């Protein structure tokens, strides 16, 4: 019978670990082909299940084992899926904390119904029929939960990525409570203890509910902000188009006069004067035909570039743009914050640095799950930097200091990197975002 119990323990552990990987697969994209991914998942599941089984031969309940399993699963997850360690740690921690709290809830219910104070000990710390029936039932619930999750339209990645750190903190609090339960309460179940745990679960539910409401409130504010930004960009673009239309109307009106002058030169066989006149026309239009319209394939990026390039050109700044991006990269609000602030800072730098060649280069590229934004501009002197950050002081004339905190906040949302550097008279702001699309 002991051999049968051990086999059931191993199979149940294998199922639990395997489902954890499957839920990760619902959240993140794979790094390998599907066949290789399945082999890795089965191999790691077998390895981790074996370690857990060996530990259970010593002690069925181990708080350290939970931390070890979460750490190992997180480390292997980043090898299989396109995610960061923090993202994997957040989801796996939440997975095991939910399982543990679910088990605790049923232990309370069963202990209350059976009126046996030692029922919790029998189900968790003794290898017997009660434990086998309990863990099989719990894993049936887990399989059902996974099947429901797989068939649902819930986008786990959008749920996990922005809340990764919060999930880790919440899981840490649950872990402390679970440790207390395992070490103290499981051996002496009583109604007072059940009431205390009921209060704890109720408070936990309230915390999750408040966090959810707060998150929706922030999202609503962001949506309102992006609507305002889009409206402002649209108005500015319309103004630029109206200005361009009027300019073209004047050019068209003058065209007949230009043709008449050139025709006169040619009739008099004054070819040199005709060529000179044509060159003058070409020179007068060259500055006006600069890149004031840029199409990247992303409407919000185009709007920002059109608006900022027009502003830069009006201040005598040459702008070069290289874009190769997909239509849906990151949230519109975040791209507005990052790109607008970087361009604003580059343009504003020339208000205090009058000796520099006025030149701004914008490079944007997206590849797989990465999105890179580079904004660089000429500077005649090295900007003031302290601890890798720019020193912003209006008295001294700030270099790029304005708005960089907002950029950093948006970048951190995607586990990205903001790098500032000064090379060969160029100030470079390099933003790299991961796990986009």
Instruction: Give domain status of residue 377, yes or no.
Output: yes
Residue 400: its pLDDT value, please?
46
Instruction: Give domain status of residue 253, yes or no.
Output: no
Quick one: tokens of 86? 């923090």
For residue range 351-377, list pLDDT tens digits in order: 777 767 889 999 998 877 788 999 999
Give pairs for 396-400: CB < 8 Å, separation 24+: 397/351, 397/352, 397/353, 398/348, 398/352, 399/345, 399/349, 399/352, 399/353, 399/427, 400/345, 400/346, 400/348, 400/349, 400/427, 400/429
Measured CA to CA, the distance from residue 139 to residue 145 in angstroms comes to 9
Given 189, 209, 235, which residue is the final one in a domain?
A: 189
Q: Is the pLDDT of residue 185 over 70?
A: no
State which residues form the domain around 91. 2-189
For residue range 47-62, list pLDDT tens digits in order: 999 988 888 776 656 6
pLDDT band at 396 (very low <50, low <70, confident <90, very high): very low
φ/ψ (deg, to 5) at 335? -65, -35
Instruction: Give domain status of residue 265, yes or no.
Output: no
Residue 397: its pLDDT value, please?
41
Judge if 10 and 152 occupy the same domain: yes
Judge if 24 and 156 occupy the same domain: yes
Domain count, the chain: 2
Instruction: Give domain status of residue 229, yes or no.
Output: no
* Strand, helix or coil for residue 340: helix
Burial class (CB in 10 A: 0-12, 13-18, 19+), 249: exposed
For residue range 207-243, list pLDDT tens digits in order: 777 877 777 777 777 767 766 766 666 566 556 655 6
Instruction: Give domain status of residue 34, yes or no.
Output: yes
Residue 35: its pLDDT value, please?
82
Given 154, 174, 189, which residue is the final one in a domain?
A: 189
pTM confidence score? 0.55
Instruction: Give domain status of residue 339, yes or no.
Output: yes
Instruction: Give domain status of residue 261, yes or no.
Output: no
Residue 161: its pLDDT value, please?
74
State the sign of the Cα–Cα–Cα–Cα dihedral 197, 202, 206, 209.
Answer: positive
Given 145, 162, 189, which residue is the final one in a domain?
A: 189
Judge if 40 and 185 occupy the same domain: yes
CA angle 184, 186, 190 (to 5 degrees): 95
Cα atoms in the Cβ-side hemisphere of radius 13 Å centred on 195: 3
pLDDT band at 82 (very low <50, low <70, confident <90, very high): confident
Q: Position of tokens 């017997």?
A: 128
Judge if 304 and 184 occupy the same domain: no
φ/ψ (deg, to 5) at 211? -60, -40
């Amino acid at each position: 019978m002991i051999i049968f119990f051990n086999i059931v323990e191993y199979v149940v552990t294998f199922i639990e670990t395997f489902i954890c990987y499957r839920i990760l697969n619902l959240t993140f994209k794979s790094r390998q082909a599907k066949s290789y991914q399945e082999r890795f998942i089965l191999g790691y599941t077998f390895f981790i299940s074996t370690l857990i089984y060996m530990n259970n031969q010593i002690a069925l309940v181990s708080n350290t084992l939970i931390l070890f399993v979460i750490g190992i699963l997180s480390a292997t997850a980043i090898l299989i899926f396109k995610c960061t360690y923090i993202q994997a740690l957040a989801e796996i921690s939440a997975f095991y904390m939910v399982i543990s709290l679910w088990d605790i809830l049923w232990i309370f219910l069963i202990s209350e119904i059976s009126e046996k104070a030692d029922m919790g000990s029998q189900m968790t710390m003794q290898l017997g029929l009660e434990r086998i029936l309990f863990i099989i039932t719990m894993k049936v619930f887990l399989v059902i939960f996974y099947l429901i999750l797989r068939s649902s339209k819930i986008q786990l990645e959008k749920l996990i990525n922005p809340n990764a750190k919060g999930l880790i903190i919440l899981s840490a609090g649950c872990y402390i409570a679970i440790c207390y339960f395992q070490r103290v309460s499981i051996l002496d179940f009583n109604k007072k203890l059940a009431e205390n745990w009921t209060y704890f679960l109720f408070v936990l539910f309230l915390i999750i509910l408040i966090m959810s409401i707060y998150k929706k409130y922030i999202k609503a504010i962001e949506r309102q902000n992006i609507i305002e930004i889009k409206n402002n960009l649209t108005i500015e673009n319309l103004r630029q188009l109206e200005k361009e239309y009027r300019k073209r109307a004047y050019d068209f009106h003058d065209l007949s006069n230009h043709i008449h002058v050139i025709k006169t030169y040619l009739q008099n066989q004054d070819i040199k004067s005709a060529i000179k006149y044509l060159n003058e026309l070409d020179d007068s239009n060259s500055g006006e035909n600069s890149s004031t319209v840029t199409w990247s394939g992303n409407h919000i990026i185009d709007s920002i570039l059109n608006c900022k390039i027009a502003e830069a050109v009006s201040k005598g700044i040459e702008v070069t743009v290289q874009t190769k991006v997909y239509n849906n990269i990151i949230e519109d609000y975040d791209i507005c914050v990052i790109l607008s602030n970087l361009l604003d800072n580059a343009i504003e730098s020339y208000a205090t640095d009058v000796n520099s060649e006025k030149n701004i280069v914008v490079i944007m590229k997206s590849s797989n799950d990465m999105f890179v934004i580079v904004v660089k501009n000429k500077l005649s002197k090295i900007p003031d930097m302290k601890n890798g950050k720019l020193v912003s002081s209006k008295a001294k004339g700030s270099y790029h200091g304005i708005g960089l905190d907002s950029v950093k906040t948006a970048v951190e949302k995607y586990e990205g990197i903001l790098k500032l550097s000064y090379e060969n008279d160029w100030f470079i702001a390099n933003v790299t975002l991961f796990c986009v699309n």
